[in-house]
Structure 1
């Protein structure tokens, strides 16, 4: 029998946005279970330090630049000697009223959250299909299903992630590649902490039948399952919302 610490032994994984919050929890979980992981994130000294502290290799990338993204993903595949798992955990969020969303703000959110997801999937798919096996997990959001005031462009970007996931699952499934999205509820990470007051946090907590907010490890556990035992699951947008959303 395999153990949770060995079931990903030798698996080659690429994780975007893996230096903080949910992404870092995913990277830690994959490493604990034996995977070789390369993190793709923005070029900062802090990102390099955090990746090293987790124990992952790190390649800097600006995911808003499609050409650079393709090049860096290819470099990661070459460094790993292949790719078995891609996790798209990178994302940006800013609370903004619908009437205040200008072209630049729309493009920033859609380019990082949606277009970069398409670009990285396109970059790994040929390698995965060549070996007739691969797992892709895209982080969407509860907002993809419920929408929400002050986050229209974010919700739109995450809805696009769900649509991309379903299309890829249909097209690449015959070649052994599963593609799924995870829709986290409110998880208090660095990105979210600065956008909610204590009163808002209490309100969100009350919305969950479990009476608590999500934790990064709640999402990381599902990623690990999809990467291993979830081989007959594809094209899904799976909620990790503590019951805040049930569809």
Structure 2
């Protein structure tokens, strides 16, 4: 079937930096027209310009704005074949310290936005005649939980769950929907709180003896949106260097 994805059109949320920027870059390098959705500011427009792509500024916590942003991006691209939901936030808090505001914003960005950007993109894909690929970035925390990650883990478990349901809904339209569960990936997220000792301890959890890089996730996304992956849907794939294997 081949793996060529050139000429396709992709919307990547949270594409201004980190994993999202690596995904956008990998797709663009393979001939995909890319639109980045991220918070207004300098990083997003600069990242999109570097790719020759489109930038749409949006706070994804606003579901209506998130849907409108996908529509705007699709219009700019002339359609949409790929959606990558990468945007997310991480706020550390234990059950005893978690606030309602932290819970609500984490779920709004990490989970609710995923649902409604999928809805907008899927409607556009179906209007084009069907077919397409959606990849939602979850987390290893969706399967393992984590100390002081109650809200984050819950939101990412929700991403895995809505991915399964969306795959069932969209399968008749030949739209695949999968999620990735990255482990410890070295990005800006969490950089302010991790130490060299943390990195060493986390690296020891992997049989490969290292942490992941954004490119490790981007490579898997590239596969899932290619013709080689059209019979994969509803899955939650681990990208953890063997830290978890179920």
Compute the TM-score of the two structures, normalised by the length of structure 1. Answer: 0.96
The aligned counterpart of 1:186 is 184
Q: Distance in 2 between matches of 1:160 and 1:139?
A: 11
Q: Deviations over 1:92-122 (max 9, x none)?
A: 0022122111110000100000000001001
Counterparts of residues 1-247 of structure 1 (less than 5 Å):
7-130=4-127, 131-228=129-226, 229-247=228-246
Maintained 8 Å contact 2:54/2:76: no
Secondary structure of 1:191's partner?
A: coil
CA contact under 8 A between 1:129 and 1:172: conserved in structure 2? no
Structure 1 spans left out of the alignment, 5+ residues: none
CA distance in 2, matches of 1:83, 1:46: 23
Q: CA shift at 1:68, angstroms?
A: 1.1
1:181–1:235 CA contact under 8 A, matched in 2: yes
* Shift in Å, 1:47: 2.4
Name the CA distance, whole Å, in 1 between partners of 2:58 and 2:17.
15
Note the alpha carbon deviations across 1:135-161, whole angstroms, 9 max, x for none. Answer: 000000000001011101000000000
Q: TM-score scaled to structure 2, two decimals? A: 0.96
Equivalents in 1 of 2:65, 2:187: separation in Å? 27
Q: Which runs of 4+ in 1 moved over 4 A?
A: none
SS of the residue 2:11 aligns to: strand
RMSD across aligned C-alpha pairs, in angstroms?
A: 1.3
